[in-house]
Structure 1
Amino acid sequence: MKAEDELTASPLRIGISTRALFDLEEEHNVFEGQGVDAYIELQRTRENERLKPGAGFQVVERLLKLNNDSQTPYVEVILLSRNAPDLSLRAFKSIDEFGLNIKLGSFTSGRSLAPFVPAWDIDLFLSNDPSDVRSVANAGTAAALLREPPENVSYDRNEEEVRIAFDGDAVVFSPESDEVYKNQGLEAFFQHERENAQNPMSAGPFYGFLKKLSMLREINIYKPRVSKVRIGIVTARNAPAHERVIYTLRAWGTPADEAHFVGPNAKGPILEAMGAHIFFDDQKKHIDSAATIVPSGQVPGPHDNENPIIPAG
């Protein structure tokens, strides 16, 4: 089946919380500090004020622009919010003013959003709520906890490309190789990866999302090997452990447009040079650095945030 037919039958579906799509930090601080009644009053007072873009805004906007026919979209975005339905008006008014084709949503009046992710058949869930993200990830759907957007992020709405960057192990790939490094050390890790260089790694939590994103990439190739959807791998692996990354992506049929094997170096400058619109990593250390430069989401993973696993050297 062609990529067009597959995505028409089963679109790439992104579920995003209101706080991930828009900048609602001031309102959230009122909720935390003054309670629900003050929060509701503030939201109603500002009902006709357009919200500012949040960390997930630009990648959502760019993905939606790839839909040629709104009747048979390749990408669908579902708004998921713990707000009461009464407070949905401001969000949808802002969506309309920005020209985003988002028509569907769930508003739960404080209840967890996690049960609605499989109900909507979501491929990627983006939120600012740690408990919802963890619950969704534990249930087997790609999920990320979005940080506040960097202050200097540029919302250039004229470019057609969407550039999405991923860490490798425990995000796109399984954490099995990380565990070798953690339990046996760096030399054992390199030996393991040399011996298994041409054996594809097992799928990680973002495999399903990557597969559909790769279909979208194929659909949007506009000249040889150049697509409006640009996929990047930015990993702490370096040679010789890099080979297995390439062979795995080749075996999966999910080619990357860019691969950066950074070893122990910071990922932020690479992501800035790439012009990534969003970056996903499972390790807090990398997200702390990257989130000051590009919109970033932490993927729930098996590693202790205080003892990061960085298999490079």
Structure 2
Amino acid sequence: MSSGFGEKLVIAISSRALFNLDESHQVYINNGLEAYAKYQIEHEDEVLLPGDAFPMVKKLLRLNERLGGEPRVEVILLSRNSADTGLRVFNSIQHYGLTISRAAFSGGTSPYRYASAFGCHLFLSTEPDDVRQALDHGMAAATLIASKAQVENEEELRFAFDGDAVLFSDEAEQVYKLQGLSAFTESEKASAKEPLSGGPFKQFLFALHRLQAEFGENCPIRTALVTARSAPAHERVIRTLRAWNIRIDESLFLGGLAKGAFLKAYGADVFFDDQKMHCESAREHVSTWHVPHGIANRT
């Protein structure tokens, strides 16, 4: 963690996740980089519409107002734009009053490497390759799955996480994928008192937990574990979180049921899962992010 940010929660986000850049991206796809740059400069005074991650970012930055004092949340823009073509993005940030002041414009190359330099706990992007590179270098990262879900709760920020290969390592999931459900169940029963290793989102969960503690009883941040596990495989998960000294507000052990309806009932603002089929179920109801990590994502 970069010493310049102290104990802040630091999140990096791509410009295409924060704003709707579909129209200009289509110019790039159809006509190339030069036409794209010309288009962005010609339209740099036109405000971009919010993207899928905009509501979450707005809520995150609002946490600083609630705590007062020094800001405790930092959002950093990472973009494949150049600074020249990225001016429209910063103009839109100013228009919406978002307190985002730090950015890296990488001029067509992957900006993921700057997430680590900024000391980020999480990198969110629409570019799967950037996300995979960040995960390969030990950073929590996820790819946006387009969704039309609407945020209903303006007062709370609700995160939901899958367990294996997201919060935890994929060691148990490997048993399931390679040997089947019976072997997985027996393995988890035998290892019930042995904490799972941490997955890519462990440190992000720790950072969220620290931030929650600063609010005390009236915390506007809630967390949920939403897993396909069921009894008796639940015990190892509970004991792992206990060993980490981490509090999860809600835990849903669904035994293979589709997650979408449960995420809607929970009121999740954002959900992270390593498996595409769970993401497809979730995207109808909540902002969904794919974590391309673990055995389920190996080709």
Relative to the length of structure 2, the TM-score reads: 0.93
Per the alignment, residue 65 of structure 1 pairs with 62
**244-253 or 277-286: bigger deviation:** 244-253
Q: Which residue of 1 aligns with 2:170?
A: 175
Counterpart in the other structure of 2:25: 28
1:18 equivalent to 2:15? Answer yes
- The alpha-carbon deviation at position 273 of structure 1 amounts to 1.1
The correspondence of residues 63-102 of structure 1 with structure 2, limited to 5 A, is: 63-68=60-65, 72-102=70-100
Say if 1:7 and 1:74, in contact at 8 Å, map to a contact too: no
3-state SS of 1:280 partner? strand
CA distance in 2, matches of 1:38, 1:272: 41
Tell me the equivalent position of 1:124. 122
Q: Does 1:43 align with 2:40?
A: yes
2:171 is matched by which residue type in structure 1? E
Q: 2:225 — aligned with what?
A: 233
The 3-state SS of whatever aligns with 2:169 is coil
Moved more, 24-33 or 204-213: 24-33
Identify if the C-alpha distance between structure 1 residues 30 and 65 changes in structure 2 by more than 3 Å, giving closer, same or farther. Answer: same
Match for 2:165: what amino acid? A
Unpaired runs of 5+ in structure 1? Answer: 1-5, 308-313
* Percent of paired sites with the same residue: 47
Q: Distance in 2 between matches of 1:59 and 1:34?
A: 32
In structure 2, what is the equivalent of residue 107 of structure 1?
105
CA contact (8 A) 1:7 1:212 kept: no
| Corresponding residue for residue 217 of structure 2 | 222
Question: 2:5·2:119 contact (CA, 8 Å) conserved in 1?
Answer: no
- Do 2:123 and 2:142's aligned partners in 1 also have CA atoms closer than 8 Å? yes
| 1:154 aligns to 2:150 (yes or no) | yes
Structure 2 gap ranges (5+): none
Distance 1:29 1:17, change over 3 A: same
Closer, same or farther: CA 84–71 of 1 in aligned 2, 3 Å = farther
**Which 4+ residue blocks in structure 1 deviate beyond 3 angstroms?**
68-71, 304-307
Which shows bigger deviation, 194-203 or 66-75? 66-75
For this pair of structures, how many residues does the alignment match? 296
- Counterpart CA distance in 1 for 2:213 and 2:23 is 40
Cα deviation for residue 26 of structure 1 reads 1.9
Q: What does the per-residue CA deviation read over 1:65-90, in whole Å, with 9 as the maximum and x for residues that have no partner?
A: 11146762211011000101012221
Native 8 Å contact 1:221 1:228 kept in 2:
no
Partner of 1:282: 274
| Structure 2: distance between partners of 1:144 and 1:155 | 20
Preserved contact between residue 121 and residue 140 of structure 2 (Cα < 8 Å):
yes
**What is the letter of the counterpart of residue 169 of structure 2?**
S
- Aligned partners of 2:30 and 2:295: how far apart in 1? 32
**Is the 2:174–2:295 contact (alpha carbons within 8 Å) kept by the matching residues of 1?**
no
The residue type equivalent to 1:267 in the other structure is: K
Q: Distance in 2 between matches of 1:286 and 1:147?
A: 11
TM-score, normalised to structure 1, is 0.89
Determine if contact 2:112/2:123 at 8 Å carries over to the other structure. Answer: no
